[in-house]
Amino acid sequence: MRRIARKIVKLFNRAIGNDLSIKPDIICETERLGSMYGGWVIAGAYIDSHSIVYSFGIGEDASFDTALIGTFNVFVHAFDPTPRSIDWVRRQQFSHQFIMHEYGIAAFDGEAPFNPPEDSNHVSHTMLDRPSTNAKSFLVPVKRLSTIMQELGHTRIDLLKMDIEGAEYEVIDDIAVSGIRPRQILVEFHHRFPNVGIEKTRKAIDTLKSMGYRLFSISASNEELCFIGTPESRDSSDR
Contact yes or no for 48/55 (Cβ under 8 A)? no
- Does a structural domain hold residue 170? yes
| Chain segment 199-234, per-residue pLDDT in tens | 999 999 999 999 999 999 999 889 999 999 976 555
Domain count, the chain: 1
- Does a structural domain hold residue 26? no
- Does a structural domain hold residue 98? yes
| Chain segment 5-32, per-residue pLDDT in tens | 445 555 555 555 567 888 999 999 999 9
Owning domain of residue 38: 2-8+31-238
**Other residues' Cβ atoms within 10 Å of the Cβ of residue 123:** 18
- Does a structural domain hold residue 192? yes
Which whole number is the average pLDDT over 96-103? 98
- Does a structural domain hold residue 83? yes
Q: How many residues does the chain have?
A: 239
Report how far apart, in Å, the C-alpha atoms of 155 and of each of 118, 152, 172, 233 are: 39, 9, 18, 15
Report how far apart, in Å, the C-alpha atoms of 115 and of each of 124, 125, 190, 194 are: 9, 5, 15, 15
CATH number of the domain residue 98 falls in: 3.40.50.150
**Other residues' Cβ atoms within 10 Å of the Cβ of residue 7:** 11
- Does a structural domain hold residue 160? yes
- Does a structural domain hold residue 14? no
What does pLDDT average to over the chain?
90
pTM exceeds 0.95, yes or no:
no
